[in-house]
Each structure stands twice: as structure tokens, then as C-alpha cells.
Amino acid sequence: MTSPSLVGSAIFTLPVRVYYEDTDAGGVVYYANYLRFLERARTEWLRRLGFSQSQLMAQNIAFAARSISAEYLKPARLDDELIVASTIESLGRAQVVFAQRVERGEELLLDAKIRVACFDPLRGKATAMPKDIYEKFKALL
């Protein structure tokens, strides 16, 4: 079921333009490419909070999608200007659940929830996220 609004108190938005490479033979955004848009928004939000992926990798910290639930409601098409809106729905020491939406103007195109786990890529095991990241996420709830 689609939620009418994002639940968190802090919403991060990222504009995305649909390019030819994002579309399928029918001229609409290929379903898997929406996941790329959502990933970019989470990555840019983390960067805005002061944490780049290269900095985290140097500390043996990475984030990976653990589960996703997405409802595709309307298609996006070539040259559309989209907004990816993201908020934090819940937070644990080693994982965070994001509520994310893709919108075109006032139209909701995709509604998703993504559970992201923090892990140590060298050991291949879950780990608690760094305290500074956790605290910044917590402040956004």
C-alpha cells in the first residue's frame, strides 16, 4: 500500500533526469533503474552529511541493501525531471530503513522501503555503523 507522505522529519531530495540509457524498448524507465536512482539519493544524502563512500571504504565500512519493497505506480519517460525523496523510517546500530519515493511533479511514480545494513567489506560481516553516522541519522528521526 502506498503511503501518502514520507514518515521522517527530515527529507532529502535529489533531482534526476531520465536519459535514453535509463529506458527500455517501450520508452519508459526500466524497472531496475529506479533502484539506481534510489541508491544515488542515499549516497548523496550520506555525502551531504559529510561521509563519502571512499572515506568509508578506507575505514572498512560499507552499506548494502538487505531488502527492498517497491511499488511501481506510474512510468517515467525519456527526459522527465524526477525527484527522489528520501527519509529515515527506522534506525538500528547496524542497519537503517529508508522510505523513498520517486516523483514527477505532484505524481508519485514509485514508493519504496529499503533496509540497508552496515558491514565490514574485508570480513564480509555486519558491523555497527560508526557512531558519528549513527548520531547524524538519529538526529534526522
Residues labelled as active-site residues: 24
- Taking the C-alpha atoms of residue 23 and residue 29, their distance in angstroms, rounded to an integer, is 4
**Sole residue written with cell 568509508:** 56
Count of positions (residues) in the chain: 141
B/e letters for 103-114, b = 16+ CB within 10 Å, e = fewer, are bbeeebbbbbbb
Q: Is 41 exposed, middle or buried (0-12, 13-18, 19+ CB in 10 A)?
A: buried
